[in-house]
Structures are given as structure tokens and as C-alpha cells.
Amino acid sequence: MNSTISDRPSAISVILPPKGFTPGQFAICLKGIVWRESLRFLHQRERFISALVRPLVWLFIFAAGFRQVLGLSIIPPYQTYILYAEYITPGLIAMIQLFNGMQSSLSMVYDREMGNMRTLLVSPFPRWYLLCSKLIAGTAVSLLQVYAFLLIARFWEIGPPPVGYLLVLPALVLCGLMLGALGMLISSAIKQLENFAGVMNFVIFPMFFASSALYPLWQVRESSPLLYYICEFNPFTHAVELIRFALYAQVNWLSLAVVGGCTVLFVLGAILAYDPSRGLITRRGEAAGAA
Amino acid sequence: MTTPMLSVEAVSHAYGERRALDNVTFAVAPATFAVLLGLNGAGKSTLFSLITRLYATQHGRIRIFNNDVEWASGEALRILGVVFQSRTLDLDLSVMQNLMYHAALHGLRRREARTRADEVLVRIALKDRAYDKVRTLSGGHMRRVEIARALLHRPHLLVLDEPTVGLDIKSRADILRYVRQLIAEDGISVLWATHLIDEVGANDHLIVLHHGRVLADGSLSRVLANCGATNVHDAFARLTGSERLMGETE
């Protein structure tokens, strides 16, 4: 629908764009955000390298050192005795996604401080869609990292059966979205970039260590029942288990439900937090540089 | 009556106890260069955050050509071009990549976006820098790219928050001239926030904002007549009680 100002003496006509957006335009917007996020990631080579080196250090050094110390019984989804390196691979995959999720939220804080965030938020597309697109973009970047890690691990003959590489994809997408949304939610509550180091310590390390990433939970229960329950309530544990089972062509329904539920919860929380009328950023005028 | 391109009606905004805007009302007609003049801390940036819906309007109403920013934000933002006070370009991407990203955020197809990007780059005389990283541009050039970016989706209203801050005299003059040209050539409306008095032109619409309140609103000649002043500096001093306008360039 076009509107025209006709009563202005100088006869200036204002032709408005059609209302709303077509599905194609929504797709263009999503593609643009994913493209920009991928470009940024590829430009930051150190980020890519450190995203790979971190889990590889765990896999080749930590796992080798602990191979003899930690005894693993046969637990689902494994049907035979496995090497410790094989056990921690799903945990390291989830770690990559956890770091990536937090790093995208770090970039959101940085963008907010630098003003880039405004470019995104003044787009006429609905804000929930922009945030979801950003989440999808972050998840896509995490998939690149995960598959690069799995490829390197494969050279050392550590990895799932071939079909696992494909079957794990939906689990990775879901876990990437959950951890990205968590990061986004956290980013909305962070005032300045400097505060982020604390969040890394208080979120990443507790989530990683209080999970089944490095040790099976039955072993945790033997040493501390309380810690066991904490691990059970940790959504990261379920992300690890969802990935672990998917790698071996199985579905851990409980983990799927927890990860799915948490994803919805965190996404809604992040959308709410970035909503101008209710969100946390509104209450902090200084965060967006208003004077 | 002509529909204003921007209408701000009785808008108030507070950060906790601190009131940043108090019953602000004004309108910008089509094809007008409106200067929002105020000292640092007058509430200009808050007003920009409300116009661009970074913050929700607490009290009052803001409409961009009849589209309520609160209730029809998509339609309102679609015809709005924004240049923020802080730099909002991605420094690690090229000029063209920044423009293409913005085009995607407005749902423009790649080919069309490319054509428009080439057009705006020619207009701002930066076509030869299209594939350079933004980081390598000067402050004045970055500003020009930001303006080009804001024009990519062909907005009807362009709002600029202190766009010349930190630029040298020549860059300032270039940018001001370029934006004034847009009004003449494209018929768009401009809301130009500044604390620099010499950026106010003889035919401009002047809005004086001080401590969150509008002290004057009208054509420059009318504001001067109402204040009994002979120039903008005098008028501003009389309206605000300030001896001297901060940031004025000598």
C-alpha cells in the first residue's frame, strides 16, 4: 500500500514501502546475519585456532594422562570398553559450543559498547527474529568449530562410527542454540566488557566441571551425592549426554527434553531481556550510551 | 494539514530518579532540515534512542510519518535512516561488506543492494574505497560511509546524532553540505542533533533542547524574533541562561 502526501504545496510525494516483509526477505535478513557472523569469525583467526586448540589439549594431553587413572565401566550408549579420550570427546564438543556461545555473547557486549549492536536493533525486522537469527548464526559458527575438531580427532582414530557424524548434527544445533541463548541472556545483564571475565569464571568453569563431560555421573555420585544432583540439574550435562548418545546413533530422551526445554526458556528470556519495553538494557541508559 | 515526517508528542523519559526528557513535543515536516540544538546532556541521545526504539517510550508518543514507533515499529524503522553518535561500523569488514550487511537487515536482495551500494558510494565520493577495510578510513570518511549506509534503504527521515563530533572543519563542512543536498535532491527530512551553533542554517527548523525540555521550536527567524535576539548564539544564551554555548567552534 502506498501513501502520498498530496496537500503539501511543494508537492513532495512520500512513497512508502509495502507493509510487512515477505518470507524471502526474512530469509535474506537471516542469511545476512549468518554471513556477517561467519565473516567475523574467519577474520579472527586467533579465535578459530584457540577454539580448536582448547579441546585438542584436553583430548591429547589431559585424556592421555588420565587414561590409566580413570577406569570406565560399560555405560550407555557405549557397548564395549572405551578409551578415556573417546569418553570425553562429546564433553569437549559441548565445551566448544559452550565457549562459542559465551564468546558470541561477549561479542554482543562488545558490539553494544562499540555501538554495532544498534545497527542490528534498528533493523525493521521484529526484534525476536533478529535475536534468533543471531543465535542461529552463532550456532552455525560453532558447527564449523565442532566438525574441524572431529576431523582432527579422527586422524588420531578418536571418534564415533561414521554415521554418528551426521546423526549428531541435530543435537549440535539444539545444544548450540541452548548455549548461545544462555550467553545472550547473560550478555543482557552485563554492563561492561570488563565484567565478562567474572562471568566466564562463574558460568563456564562450573558448568563444565559440574557435568558428565569429564567423568561419568555414577563416579561423581560415589564421591559426593550432592555434587551428583548438581550435575544432574546442570543443563550442560544434558547437552553432553545428548551429543554423546547422538554420536552413537541413539537418543537420550531425558537429555533431549531438558536441552529442548532450556533452549525455549533461554531464548524467551533473551528476547525479553532485549525487549525495549521490558528488557534489562532499557533500565541501563548508560549501556547504550544515552546522554 | 501536511503529515509530519516525525512527530514527538509529550515525550518524557527518566532513568530511575533522573529525568532525561520532560514533556518534549515537536514535529519535523517533510523535506526539512531540523536542528536539535542542545548542550551535552540535554537529552538528545535519549531522544534518539526513543525515536529508534532502542528504548521504549515511557510517556508520550513518537510517530514516523504516522507510524507509531511503539506499535508499528517495523513500519516506522523501515522509513528511518539513523546515524548514531558512536561509530557503528564493523571495523574489520570492508565498506561494501558493511553496506551489504545493512541491506540484508532491511531485506534487500543482493543484486539490488549492490546497485544501491554502488550508487550511494558514488554520491559520497568513496567508490574507490569500497573494498577497503573500514579500519583504514579516516574519521570523516567513516562518517560518510555511515550516512551512505543509513540511506541505502531509501529512508524518508534521516536522524543524525552529533554526526560531526570529532571531525576536522573540512570534514564537518562536507558532511553538512552533503546532508543538506539530500533534502534538496531527494526530499527527505533530516533531524540533526548538535551542540555546535554554527551548524544551524538560515532556513532551518530549530528546536532547542535544554535539561530535557524544549525551550524553542520553529523556524530560525521565528525563534530569533521570539527571543529578541540577533543570532543563534544570543537566542540560545537568552533561552537557557547559559553565558556561552559549549562546543562552539571559533
Per-residue pLDDT tens over the stretch A76-87: 777 777 778 888
Which chain B positions have a beta carbon within 8 Å of A5's beta carbon? 2-3, 30
B185 lies in the same domain as B104? no
Answer with the one of B117, B138, B154 that is the final residue of a domain: B154
Residue (of A188, A232, A190) closest to A211 by Cα position = A232
The crossing angle, in degrees rounded to 10, of helices A84-114 and A127-155 is 140
Of the candidates B15, B45, B55, which has its C-beta nearest A276's C-beta?
B55
B137 lies in the same domain as B234? no
CA-to-CA distance for B79 and B232, rounded, in angstroms? Answer: 31
Query: In this structure, is residue B50 part of a structural domain?
Result: yes
CA-to-CA distance for A136 and A133, rounded, in angstroms? Answer: 5
Answer with the one of B137, B154, B171 that is the final residue of a domain: B154
B235 lies in the same domain as B150? no
B51 lies in the same domain as B144? no
Instruction: Nearest chain B residue to A123 by CA: give it.
Output: B105
B171 lies in the same domain as B56? yes
Q: How confident is the model at residue A59 (pLDDT cuts 50, 70, 90)?
A: confident
Q: Say yes or no: B105 contacts chain A, CB-CB below 8 A.
A: yes
B190 lies in the same domain as B247? yes
pLDDT of A115 higher than 80: no
Q: What mean pLDDT comes out for the span B140-167?
A: 89
B48 lies in the same domain as B130? no
- Describe the strand order of the beta sheet including B18-28 as a list of residue ranges: B18-28, B6-15, B59-64, B67-68
Answer with the one of B154, B180, B202 that is the final residue of a domain: B154
Q: What mean pLDDT comes out for the span B148-174?
A: 88
The crossing angle, in degrees rounded to 10, of helices A45-57 and A127-155 is 50
Q: How confident is the model at residue B190 (pLDDT cuts 50, 70, 90)?
A: very high
Residues 12 to 51 of A: which have CB under 8 A from any B CB? Answer: 12, 14, 16-17, 19-22, 24-26, 28-29, 31-33, 35-36, 39-40, 43-44
Q: What mean pLDDT comes out for the span A236-246?
A: 94
Among A207-216, A238-247, B55-64, B209-218, where is mean pLDDT lowest?
Answer: A207-216
Q: Say yes or no: B140 contacts chain A, CB-CB below 8 A.
A: no
B185 lies in the same domain as B233? yes
Q: What mean pLDDT comes out for the span B23-27?
A: 93
Q: What mean pLDDT comes out for the span A163-170?
A: 92
CATH number at residue B27: 3.40.50.300
**Residue A279, CA distances (Å) to A161, A187, A189, A269, A284 in order:** 45, 12, 10, 9, 10
Average pLDDT, chain A: 81
Q: What mean pLDDT comes out for the span A80-105?
A: 85
CB pairs A-B closer than 8 Å: 148
Q: CA-based angle A220:A222:A224, to the nearest 5? A: 65
The crossing angle, in degrees rounded to 10, of helices A127-155 and A162-189 is 140
pLDDT of B249 higher than 50: no
Higher-confidence position of A14 and A52 = A52
Among A41-50, A120-129, B117-126, where is mean pLDDT lowest?
Answer: A41-50
Provide the greatest CA pair distance for chain B.
55
Cβ atoms B240, B215 nearer than 8 A: yes
CA B10 to chain CA mean position, Å: 20
Among A75-79, A125-129, A216-220, where is mean pLDDT lowest?
Answer: A75-79
pLDDT of A277 higher than 70: no
B167 lies in the same domain as B247? yes
Position A261 scores a pLDDT of: 96
Q: How many domains does chain B have?
A: 2
pLDDT of B55 higher than 60: yes
Q: Return the H-helix or E-strand segment holding A287.
A: none
Chain A nearest-CA distance from B86, in A, is 6
B71 lies in the same domain as B168? yes
Q: What mean pLDDT comes out for the span B76-103?
A: 90
Query: In this structure, is residue B84 part of a structural domain?
Result: no
Query: In this structure, is residue B170 part of a structural domain?
Result: yes
Position B197 scores a pLDDT of: 86
pLDDT of A7 higher than 60: no
Cβ atoms B44, B38 nearer than 8 A: yes
Residue B38: count of CB within 10 angstroms of its CB? 29
B18 lies in the same domain as B130? no
- Give one DSSP letter per residue of A210-250, joined into a string: TSSSSS-HHHHHHH-HHHHHHHHH-HHHHHHHHHHHHHTT-
B36 lies in the same domain as B108? no
CA A85 to chain CA mean position, Å: 23
Q: What mean pLDDT comes out for the span B199-214?
A: 90
Residue B72 domain boundaries:
1-79+155-250
Chain B nearest-CA distance from A230, in A, is 38
Residue (of A276, A45, A23) closest to A144 by Cα position = A45
Cβ atoms B105, B97 nearer than 8 A: no
CA-to-CA distance for B70 and B81, rounded, in angstroms? Answer: 17
**Residue B175, CA distances (Å) to A54, A57, A70, A72 in order:** 47, 52, 67, 69
**Which three-class secondary structure state does DSSP give residue B202?**
coil
Q: What mean pLDDT comes out for the span B14-43?
A: 90
Position A11 scores a pLDDT of: 46
CA-to-CA distance for B83 and B144, rounded, in angstroms? Answer: 10
Which chain B positions have a beta carbon within 8 Å of A33's beta carbon? 104-105
Higher-confidence position of A15 and A252 = A252
Average pLDDT, chain B: 88
